[in-house]
Amino acid sequence: MQISLKKYDAVLFDLDGVLTMTMKIHASCWKRMFDAYLQERSKCFGETHQPFDISSDYKSYVDGKLRADGVRAFLSSRNIALAEGSPDDAPSLETICGLGNRKNLLVKDVIAAEGVEIIKGSLTFAHRVRSLGLKTAVVSASKNCEMILQAAGIRDLFDCIVDGKVAERNGLPGKPAPDTFLAAAEALNVAPHRSVVVEDAISGVQAGQAGGFGLVIGIDHHGDKRVLLKNGADIVVKDLMEILDNGHK
């Protein structure tokens, strides 16, 4: 498939798994938090639940989604219902938001200790599209988006950010709804059909397709090419350098 980036006015990047390898951190922290919580329930109520599985549960229930949506979806898969709580709930509270904040503390600790790994091909791609005059944005469910971009030293590459904080403040539903991507396009003053979405999550490519974006690029880290194509990606690559290496300009 031939791609001319000059046909577009903007590229909207997901963060985790697209610009940074922080999805590994998120996946491990989700597992640590959920497994510990399920063990607590086992001690208190004698319940037995299957532990969080990174290879299946992460992609199915939490990848690319707003934090509370991920907590709710995973717990529902284990037939557990909790009160929603509020976004400022203490991590000790047994609510949807409390568990999400519990996981967030783990993420912040890991990033503080280990830093952030950048995906070099995506960084090169971002520089290239900006050199062509395209606008750029990061569209992420993470409320730590700004912190991660600053830690990675790449915040200045992007004209705007629509993250979990923006979504919460403006009442935007998270992916697979297209609202956060559409908000980024509006902030950049570009039309969705003249914009490219870059995603590695199933919920993300679904959002790109639902929003009527001109091109949805899927990044396949785990042999999910067929699934990404089925759910809305127009093309799927292992690394964005493949697009540049193939002479697409």
Instruction: Give the residue numbers marked as catalytic.
Output: 14, 16
Tell me: cis bond preceding 192? Omega within 30 of 0 counts. Answer: no
Residues 6 or more apart whose CB falls under 8 angstroms from that of 207 comprise: 175, 176, 177, 178, 180, 181, 197, 199, 232
Phi/psi of residue 118, nearest 5 degrees: -90, 145
- State the Cα–Cα distance between residues 79 and 215, nearest whole angstrom: 37
From first CA to last CA, the distance across the chain in angstroms is: 13
Show the tokens assigned to 206: 């679904």
